[in-house]
Structures are given as structure tokens and as C-alpha cells.
Amino acid sequence: MKVVAVLNQKGGVGKTTLTANLGHALALTGKKVVAMDLDPQGHLSASLGIFKPPRHGLGDVLNGDAVMQAVKIETRESMLLIPAGISLREIEEFGGNAKDRMHLLQNALSQLPEETDYVLIDCPPSSGLLAANAILAVDEVMIPVSGDYLSLNGLAHLMITLRRFDSLRKTPVKKKIVLSRFVARRRLSQEVLEKLLEHFPGLIFQTAIREASALAECPGVGRTIFEYREFSSSAEDFRLLAQDFIEGNTLEQV
């Protein structure tokens, strides 16, 4: 089982879109996938067609009030959802020793089905206790970066944050970058790509997720891109990204 956090402290870079659509893309290849919502806003559930936020979810599991089996939702063939639940936002408000609470997610992951191939965790746009739980629990952090300088600046800060956690892990967390909301014809997007390749060669997945109105429309109807526009360029992007993810295909140079 490979556990991956979809993480960026900057909002609006496509974390939830990436989690929902990559998760479904992997499930369509026959992989057993768990999509986990670690964001108290609960947008991942809506993106997968559950518009009324489930009352119980990951928050109850982390609190010790429920087990994964009790809160899981079979949302697609080969794809389970662990919703946020209304109590998730309380995790960062609990008293006690913060260090003792940074491994709640790591302990909870042992409850997932043994046949699970991939766990994708949609993280909140913050650097609080929930994000810390993700960084300490996962095998890899997947960072969506949109084609603008603010996103690039956010990536630099996130890399610093991740390095700070290395001493708390047995091994440094692996990192991968996904170009999201990418517009190839924009000069700025190309400049951002060049900067990424200069500083992070071998960490950027080969396939970029291009900017598309269909991807923005999907959450409103509770469908992934494969259900909403099966033959679109966006669906093809996610099929190729899933292949990159499975095979480890990355860019070394432009």
C-alpha cells in the first residue's frame, strides 16, 4: 500500500481536483484506491457526488470514536472514500501535547483494507496539525503547482516545511510535483516549468494537467472527468498522469 498526501499550503492549485480524478483514474486501471478527505471543508465528498457532508468520517476515526470500516463509502468501483466528517475540524483544537497528536493518522491507516494499492489524501491548505499528521504518515507528498509565480513561491516554502519534518520520520518524505491548471501557450507557464526543472529535476511528473472549464464544472455535478467528459483532453491528461504515477515517469529537462 502506497500512501500519498496531496499537499500545498497555497489554496486554489487543484488539490481536490487532483485527488478525485487521479484516484478515479487509478481505480479505472484496476487498482484498489482509497481517497481520504483530511480537509475539514469536505470538498472531496462533493467532488465525488456526496453533496450532503457525511456527519461521521475521518475526524471520528482520529478521535478514536469510530473505525475506518464504519465511515467508508464505496463511491466508485475499486475506489473508497473516507469523508472528513464534522468532527475533523476539532482535531487541531484539542488540548494536550501536540507531538502526541501528530501520529493520529499514521495509526489510523493500519485500519485500511490490506488489498488497498493506493491511498490519496486530500490535505487542507494550511501547515497545522492535520497537515503535520499527513506528512508524518505518508510515503510520498504530491504537490500540485499551477503555472504562476505565487504557486512557485508557495512550493519553495512547502519544501522548507517538509525538510523540517525529516528529523521526525524514519526516512525523509519522498516528493513529486504535478503541474496543474497549466496553459502551455502562456509564456509565464513555460517560465514556471523551466524554474521547476532547474531546481527540482526528476521530481516533476511528465504529464501536466491542463487548464480546462470541464474540470471546474465537475464538482458541481459530483462527477469525475471520466464521467463528465470521458473523451476530453482533461480525461486524457489524468489517464496519462495515472500512468506516470504508477510507473514513476518524471521530467529531467524541457
The predicted structure's pLDDT at residue 13: 85
Domain of 194, CATH number, reads: 3.40.50.300
Boundaries of domain holding 61 = 2-251
Structure-block grid coordinates of residue 94: 484539542
The predicted structure's pLDDT at residue 11: 78
The predicted structure's pLDDT at residue 29: 98
Residues of the chain with pLDDT under 70: 94-98, 253-254
Strand partners, 177: 143, 204
The predicted structure's pLDDT at residue 97: 62
Half-sphere exposure of 219 (CA within 13 A, CB side): 14
The predicted structure's pLDDT at residue 98: 67
- Domains contained in the chain, number: 1
pTM of the model: 0.95
The predicted structure's pLDDT at residue 154: 84
